[in-house]
Amino acid sequence: MANVNRVFLLGRLTREPELRFTNSQTPVVELGMALHRQWTTSDGQHREETTFVEVVLWDRRAEAAVSHLHKGSSLFVEGRLELHEWVDDRNQPRKILRVVGDNVQFLDPKPDSPGGARNV
């Protein structure tokens, strides 16, 4: 049986992106995204929900995100799910399911250029 691990997200950043570097000097940025959904129930009531997702970008995508995005920016991310595991400061094991972004589109126009999405 074939397996597929693809995720497509369209949302807004919940915090400013902060560039970090691994021990081998590889750029990495972790983004918080808010995904908003609205719908009407069968009895006519309007409903809304927001889902928060962590996204990690590597290399040139990370560098581009830091220079082009800010809290509230709209973006489209295509990537894959990854279970990230680590041990926290209290020596407790932690896990989080996050998205590793393979393709990113910045949806807000740059202030000095005409509108349109930019692929990274």
Phi-psi region of 59 (alpha: psi -120 to 50; beta: other; left: phi over 0): left
CA distances from 34 to 1, 21, 31, 44, 72 (A): 33, 25, 10, 25, 9
Q: What is the mean pLDDT of residues 31-54?
A: 95
Determine the Cα–Cα distance for residues 92 and 107; give it in Å rounded to an integer.
38
Please check the confidence at residue 32 and state whether its pLDDT lies above 80. Answer: yes
Q: What is the pTM of this model?
A: 0.81
Q: Where are the domains of the chain?
A: 7-119
Per CATH, the number for 7-119 is 2.40.50.140
Structure confidence by residue, pLDDT tens digits, 56-98: 999 999 999 999 999 999 999 999 999 999 999 999 999 999 9
Confidence of residue 2 (pLDDT cuts 50, 70, 90): confident
